[in-house]
Chain A
Amino acid sequence: MRQTMRRRTQIATALSILAAGMTALAGSAIAAPAEKYLHVNVQDPTNDGSVNVNVPLSMAEKILPATNNHDLHEGRVSIHNAEMNGVDARALLDAVRTAPDNEFVTVKDKDSDVRVAKANGNIIVHVIDKKNKEQTVDVTIPLKVVDALFSTTKNDELDVAAALRALSDAGDVLLVTVQGSSEKVRVWVDSRNTQD
């Protein structure tokens, strides 16, 4: 009787340890955020060529602060006043952030159509280049990423490293598509390490 009791205790202890181990493993699996990848895909059907680039965002986050080259320092890009054309980008961004979803800019002329809008927490830019055989460009940037980009205290800097971190925290997003007569370009972020 005592032997049976002891065996049951041993089995119960072993099962408890196993359960605790599995719970810890499952917990760590749930807690660990999935690695995000920045994908670039260029298709050129005219000569049957393609370029695929897959960059782990964690790697890019490490490289940026270590790169000091021209206007890029510690993950930040310096913008010269001339490039801003006197536009207060922060004030503009603040106005866009607080505004409801809307179409802010619509330009139509014989060369191009341009549309800038805010929708579902994203800034969307849509360009049709009529001169260039109806090439279309679509850019979707989550507002959180734009906020991070302008999160530095200096007015003439963009914090690319912070934007990358924000991009990593954002969900899967198709950032850029360019549809030309000969080439098709896509840039997106997701948790898959392949483009299949």
Chain B
Amino acid sequence: MMLVAKIALGMAGVAVAGAGVLCSEGMVTVKVVGKQPGGLHIHVIAPAMLAPIAVQLAPRRALAQTARQIQPNMPAIRAALEGLRDSGDVVLVAVKEPGQHLEVEKSGGSIVVDVDDTSETVHVSAPIRAISSTLDQLAAGSNSL
């Protein structure tokens, strides 16, 4: 009985440590809510650490094409993300029009995008570290193919 308890405790410890490692880069949140009756409703919360891994699952041709497009701009993108990481929290862009509202914000260590228009509301939040490593993975895509 004691042995079973120790094994269970060990497994629980491994699970907690694994979850801790998985969530160490923060979480990516995507929430889409349609305003029409029966409209789209998506709510995804996933560990940001999985994002670079998920890139590997993308179709190879699409990955190579994206990599070719993104590679020339990677130095500027890396510099922008580094600058954002070092800067304080700020609303980078806010656009208001009748019936539409877009906001891109740096909050904590994440980039948060909120869109509210007549058809749906969209909320996306992703840690800057995860965006950076995912883009690096994407840019490296053409080299590895």
Contacts and interface: CB of A to CB of B under 8 A. Distances in A.
Interface of A: 35, 37, 47-56, 58-63, 65-68, 193-194
A61 B83 CA distance: 8
A66 to B, nearest CB: 4
20 contacts: A35-B87, A47-B98, A48-B97, A49-B96, A49-B97, A52-B93, A52-B94, A53-B92, A54-B92, A56-B83, A59-B83, A59-B84, A59-B87, A61-B83, A62-B80, A62-B82, A62-B83, A63-B79, A68-B75, A193-B90
A35 B86 CA distance: 10
A63 B80 CA distance: 5
B88 interface: yes
A65 B78 CA distance: 12
Contact of A59 (B80, B91, B98): B80
A56 B79 contact: no
A187 to B, nearest CB: 15
Contacts of B78: 66
A72 B95 CA distance: 28
B145 interface: no
B75 A193 contact: no
Given A59-B83, A59-B87, A62-B83, A53 B93 contact: yes
B98 A56 contact: no
B79 A49 contact: no
A194 B91 contact: yes
A49 B98 contact: yes
B10 to A, nearest CB: 42
A65 B79 CA distance: 9
**Could you say which of B78, B83, B86 has the most chain A C-beta atoms within 10 Å of its C-beta?**
B83
Contact of A48 (B86, B87, B91, B98): B98
